Amino acid sequence: MVSPPVSPLPSAAAPTVRRARARRGEGDRLRDEILAAAEALLIATGDESALSIRAIAAAVGVTPPAIYLHFADRSELIFAVCERRWSALQGAMDAAAAGVADPIERIRRRGEAYLRFGTDHPEHYRVLMMSRPEETPARFGDERLAGTAGIEVVAADLREAIAAGVLPDQDAGEAAVMLWMAVHGMVALLISKPDFPFPPAEQLFDHFYRLTMAGLGGRV
């Protein structure tokens, strides 16, 4: 007796689970879920190129067109993911300087917090601070990013130090930008050259800080 043909086994891959259509007023929640899923992928892979619309949609359980209801394109989504983390930088610097009366020490602590933040979130930092201008959505302009990077509060610390005679009279805004350029250079190199045998980051920062403050005419 000939056995009937055996039907092929179904694929082991589980089908993508589709979520129900969002009810009125749930759009903001879906947007947050999209951002959370995209950030999880970014952290897990450490690679911005892994954040395809299709991969993010699958992680959330929606179709790709649902993503475009909240974000114009992939670039806007990626920058929005990084922006959520970047917005915490100002708070981290303020917390590091809280309760410190000496403006020079506040500047040091803000710089250390910036360095830690950048190296703790390398892919977020790379996207926001190391992307080419044509890759950057218009709403993430240089002035906005610079404001979040603490330029204004560092300039205020410098003005206080100048008024107290701790630093010679100079343009506090220009000096703040110079400090930012220096610490950004450290973060960018540590991120882009992870295999280079740099000295410990804390040691590098201490050396950089002393050199920079000496250049501003302050104590070291």
Contact 63, 57 (CB under 8 A): yes
Q: CA 62 to CA 162: how far, in whole Å?
A: 56
Contact 149, 111 (CB under 8 A): no
**Is 10 exposed, middle or buried (CB count within 10 Å of its CB: 0-12, 13-18, 19+)?**
exposed
DSSP state of 216: T
Contact 147, 99 (CB under 8 A): no
Q: CA 120 to CA 113: how far, in whole Å?
A: 10
pLDDT per position as a tens digit, 197-210: 999 999 999 998 99
pLDDT band (50, 70, 90) for residue 148: low
Contact 82, 127 (CB under 8 A): yes
Q: What is residue 20's predicted lDDT score, i.e. its pLDDT?
A: 46
Q: What is residue 81's predicted lDDT score, i.e. its pLDDT?
A: 83
The one-letter amino acid code at 179 reads L
Domain boundaries, the chain: 27-71, 86-215
Q: CA 100 to CA 87: how far, in whole Å?
A: 23
Q: Taking 70 as the threshold, does the pLDDT of residue 11 lie above it?
A: no
CATH code of the region 27-71: 1.10.10
Angle, in degrees to the nearest 10, between helices 103-120 and 122-129: 100
- How much is the pTM? 0.74
Angle at 219 between CA 175 and CA 104, to 5 degrees: 55
pLDDT per position as a tens digit, 76-119: 888 888 877 777 888 899 999 999 999 999 999 999 999 999 99
Q: What is residue 204's predicted lDDT score, i.e. its pLDDT?
A: 92
Contact 119, 158 (CB under 8 A): no
DSSP-assigned states of every residue in 114-137? HHHHHHHSHHHHHHHHSS-GGGS-
Q: CATH classification of 86-215, choosing from 1.10.357.10, 3.30.565.10, 1.10.3720.10, 3.90.870.30? A: 1.10.357.10
Q: Cβ neighbours of residue 88 under 8 Å, at least 6 residues apart?
A: 117
